[in-house]
Amino acid sequence: MEGLEGELDNHKRTAAPRPKVDLSGLASDGSESAEALGAKNEQLISEYDAVVSDLELAEGQRDASKREVESLRRELDQAEASLAAQTDENFMYRDQVAKLQREKAGK
């Protein structure tokens, strides 16, 4: 459980959203030079790459979380099955003890 808490704390630190970029400053007003338009285009591509990277990271974290949930669900199912088996065994022993006590009381 401690590992999961540490992982969650780390995720909270690293998952802080990036500040929004004002893309309106990158819009063309038609009077820019080719170099200025190229620079704006490079900034847009850079922002796009950052967004894609963030998305890929989020999808990876989502997929890892799904795998962890599935693993925990399997562990829970196994624990519940084990508990049910142990409960059945305990009832069997209780019944055997009750039978022996009845037999002993009948003698």
Residues 78-91: tens digit of each pLDDT: 999 999 999 999 99
- For 50, phi and psi rounded to 5 degrees? -65, -40
Has residue 49 got a pLDDT over 70? yes
In a domain, 64, yes or no: yes
Contact 25, 47 (CB under 8 A): no
Handedness of CA 9, 13, 18, 19 (dihedral sign): positive
End-to-end CA distance of the chain: 55
Per the CB < 8 A criterion, the answer to whether 40 and 22 are in contact is no
Domain extent, residue 93, equals 29-106
Of these ranges, 22-36, 40-54, 74-88, the one predicted with the greatest mean pLDDT is 74-88
> How many domains in the chain?
1
Answer whether residue 96 is part of any domain. yes
pTM > 0.85? no
Residue 101, pLDDT score: 94
